[in-house]
Amino acid sequence: MEHETGGPIVAIPVYAGVSELELGIMVTVCRLCGGEGAAMTVNRSRASIVTAGGLVSTPHVLYAALPEPAALLLPGGPGALKAARDPLLKAFLSSHAALPIGAGGSGLLLLGEAGVLTGREVGGPADLTDTLWGHGVADVHPGEVWTDAQLCTTPGGFPALHAALHVAATVWGAEAAADAARRLGTL
């Protein structure tokens, strides 16, 4: 679906305890590539949430009001395990599993609980290796950025930039993603 300026939307599920670093990276890459409104944070409620670092954020839309997204980005954070058990979030992720998806750090737990990682190769945080195996993955590459078809998984923190750039390249093109990386000073 397109946002008010006519471009595609990337949905970013948020939850109490989300990493504001990973969330900020993901939103910034989407805005650099697709403009204002290209990234929409989504939750079961529009009530404000407290991020891992104590910032307060209000989701843009409810799951039910979200226009059809072109892709998903999933930031990690200390609240990911609890959020991953939310039946509404699990249903949302499983119904959009065919979209391009980028997940950073413990954001992989959201996909694992939704059954989206079964049979996939994933990267991610080394400390989640055993947990990821429990979600039926084909292989785990601890501490690495890994792309399996349209799914890009990364360790937590700054490497979430790779997941955001992967989704951006798929949605807006490789040139737009490379330009965003240059503008962020990562190339």
Number of structural domains in the chain = 1
Give the Cα separation of 123 and 141 in Å (integer): 5
DSSP 66: P
Show Cβ contacts of residue 130 under 8 Å, excluding neighbours closer than 6 positions: none
Q: What is the pTM of this model?
A: 0.94
Q: Summarize pLDDT for 118-167 with one digit per residue, the tens.
A: 999 999 999 999 999 999 999 999 999 999 999 999 999 999 999 999 99
The confidence score (pLDDT) of residue 186 equals: 80
Q: Does 187 score more than 70 pLDDT?
A: no
The answer to whether residue 108 is domain-embedded is yes
As a whole number, mean pLDDT of residues 78-106 equals: 96
Residue 2 within a domain: no
- Each as own residue / partner, the long-range contacts of residues 133-137 (CB below 8 Å, 24 or more positions apart, any chain) are 135/111, 137/112
Residue 122 lies in a domain: yes
Asked if 89 and 83 touch (Cβ cutoff 8 Å), the reply is yes
Give the CATH number, domain containing residue 127.
Answer: 3.40.50.880
Q: CA–CA separation, 137 vs 54, rounded Å?
A: 33
- Do 35 and 4 meet the contact criterion of CB atoms below 8 Å apart? no
Residue 63 lies in a domain: yes
- In this prediction, residue 1 carries a pLDDT of 47
Q: Which domain range does residue 145 map to?
A: 10-179
| Per-residue pLDDT reduced to its tens digit, 22-63 | 999 999 999 999 999 999 999 999 999 999 999 999 999 999
What's the rounded mean pLDDT across residues 12-26?
A: 97
Q: How confident is the model at residue 4 (pLDDT cuts 50, 70, 90)?
A: low
- Mean model confidence pLDDT for the chain: 94
Residue 83 lies in a domain: yes
Q: At what angle do helices 20-34 and 160-172 cross, to 10 degrees?
A: 20
Residue 15 belongs to some domain of the structure: yes
Look at residue 185 and tell me if it is in a domain: no
Between CA 3 and CA 40 the distance in angstroms is 9
Are 51 and 69 in contact, with CB atoms under 8 Å apart?
no
Whether 1 is in a domain gets the answer: no
